[in-house]
Amino acid sequence: MYLRWLYYFNRLNFALLKLRLSGRVEFCEGCDISTRDFRYRGSGKIRFGKGAVLERSVFPAVFDAEAGSEIIFGERVWLRGKYCANVFTAFAGARIEIGDDCGFNGAVLAAKNRVMIGKKTLLSWGVSIMDSDLHDLSNSRKARISTVEIGDYCLIGVHATIMPGVKIGSHCIIGANSVVTKDVPDNSIAAGAPARVIGRLDDRDRAS
């Protein structure tokens, strides 16, 4: 009985959330969103593809979408906040694009221009991805802004940081605590600070 009421309560909250954010946030068919954990700020557009899930978790998911920005989640993207919050910040005019079947467990993504992640890529807790330095380095050295791209079927390990301009290929693993400052080719294991390729991998499309 209690579970049934909880189910209807969540359905009602979800319907109210959709109404409140209509025109800015689009939820496609079959999305399962814990409204309690959903935080939206700004006026940018967000789209959750079919079957996207925001789990009822310990930590919330924050979607910070400034004017003219877009945050696009593919189908069946799974957001979990078991150890820390997921935070997606798209600054004015920026775009964050996440492919189908990606999984997040407490990552921070900050885009001034563009951050793109392919399909079936998993991001562990404490991962940070930024496409800009966010602050000027000095009076003469302005903040870099450069697109970050991560391919399909990657695993980004605990507390890894992906720096501006980096392109990580498909079927890659980034080791725990790594700081990735340079491109990583397909089918590589890269680790360390700065990250270096320490091994090669076969494909990960059937890895769990």
Ligand X SMILES: CC(C)(COP(=O)(O)OP(=O)(O)OC[C@H]1O[C@@H](n2cnc3c(N)ncnc32)[C@H](O)[C@@H]1OP(=O)(O)O)[C@@H](O)C(=O)NCCC(=O)NCCS
Interface positions with ligand X (CB under 6 A): 124, 157-158, 173, 175-178, 189, 191-192, 198-199
DSSP H or E stretch at residue 178? none
Reduced 3-state DSSP string for 47-92: EECCCCEECCCCCCEEEEECCCCEEEECCCCEECCCCCCEEEEECC
Min dist CB 176 to ligand X, Å, is 4
In whole angstroms, what separates CA 128 from the centre of its chain? 9
Distance CA 208, CA 131 (A): 28
Residues annotated as catalytic (active site), given as ranges? 135
Q: Which is nearer to ligand X, 42 or 118 (CB)?
A: 118
DSSP H or E stretch at residue 156? strand 155-156
Q: Which is nearer to ligand X, 30 or 192 (CB)?
A: 192
Min dist CB 127 to ligand X, Å, is 9
Distance CA 93, CA 86 (A): 21
The sheet with strand 45-48 has its strands ordered as 25-27, 45-48, 70-73, 95-98, 114-117, 148-150, 167-168
Q: Which is nearer to ligand X, 65 or 173 (CB)?
A: 173
Min dist CB 122 to ligand X, Å, is 7
Min dist CB 80 to ligand X, Å, is 10
In whole angstroms, what separates CA 27 from the centre of its chain? 17
The 8-class DSSP code of residue 142 comes to P
Alpha helices in the chain (DSSP H): 2-20
Q: Which is nearer to ligand X, 28 or 193 (CB)?
A: 193
Q: Which is nearer to ligand X, 89 or 124 (CB)?
A: 124
Min dist CB 72 to ligand X, Å, is 24
